[in-house]
Amino acid sequence: MICVALTVFAYMFQAVITGIHERTFIAIKPDGVQRRLVGEIIRRFERKGFKLVGMKLMQASEKLLRDHYIELKDRPFYNGLVKYMSSGPLVAMVWQGLDVVKVTRAMLGETNPADSAPGTIRGDFCVEVGRNVIHGSDSVESATREISLWFHPEELTCWNDCADNWIYE
Ligand code: IDP
Ligand code: MG
């Protein structure tokens, strides 16, 4: 019930929610899907203890991707980035948990796979910045914006996690 109220509140007021209800937007990019990394990537977030509250396989429109990456619109790679991201299906997800934005960014690794430590997703599964298999929101504020861009409120599911008491004290 609290979770449903928070979801509606976050959508209506673009409110930033932290603590164990913090959420982030994660996308397995088209190269991650083509390279059969979907299961491996989801497994990492699940085993960490985060909660999956939204997920869909979709081919995103160029318009959605231009909005999503609006901050990069003046960068020379912007058009190529939009083309790559719209070139095939991706898996859009919302994950929830304590410090989920910061922790999932650490699990992703650096933007450039060459700078990403082994053990991170980008450090383990890719070599070039333009094919870096996964997106993750970089702040709680951008997570709020991205979740409302990619998901309708009713596409997010609030569910009772029976492992909560073993993940949080
Ligand atoms: P992030 O994904 O780690 O947050 P951003 O700087 O937000 O990194 O860039 C968004 C995406 O744009 C990157 O994940 C990558 O796919 C692409 N990108 C960033 N820099 C370059 C570049 O120099 N060449 C090609 N693509 C790039
Ligand atoms: Mg970014």
pLDDT in tens, 4-58: 777 777 777 777 788 999 999 999 999 999 999 999 999 999 999 999 999 999 9
User: Does residue 135's CB lie within 6 angstroms of at least one atom of ligand 1?
Assistant: yes
Q: Which residue has the CA at smallest separation from atom 27 of ligand 1?
A: 130
Ligand 1 pocket: which of 115, 132, 141, 145 to mutate (most atoms within 8 A of CB): 132
pTM of the predicted model, to two decimals?
0.95
Strands (E), the chain: 23-28, 51-58, 90-96, 134-136
Residue nearest to atom 25 of ligand 1 (CA): 130
CB-based neighbours (< 5 A) of ligand 2, an ion:
138
Q: From the CB of 84, is ligand 1 less than 6 Å away?
A: no
- Pocket mutation for ligand 1, best pick of 28, 90, 111, 126 (most atoms within 8 Å of C-beta): 111
| Interacting residues of 95 by C-beta distance below 8 A, sequence separation 6+ | 23, 24, 26, 45, 50, 51, 52, 53, 104
Cα(21) to ligand 1 centroid in Å equals 27
Q: What is the pLDDT of residue 137?
A: 98
* Residue that is written with structure tokens 């082994």 in the block: 118
Q: What is the pLDDT of residues 60-110, one digit of tens each?
A: 999 999 999 999 999 999 999 999 999 999 999 999 999 999 999 999 999
In Å, what is the CA distance from 98 to each residue of 8, 13, 59, 110, 151?
19, 21, 30, 21, 21
Give the mean pLDDT of 123-139. 98
Can you state the angle between helices 140-150 and 2-13, rounded to 10 degrees? Answer: 90
Structure tokens belonging to residue 8: 């509606």
Q: Does the active-site annotation cover 152? A: no
- CA of 129 from ligand 1 middle (Å) equals 6
- The identity of residue 77, as a single letter, is F
pLDDT single digits (tens) 152-167: 999 999 999 999 999 9
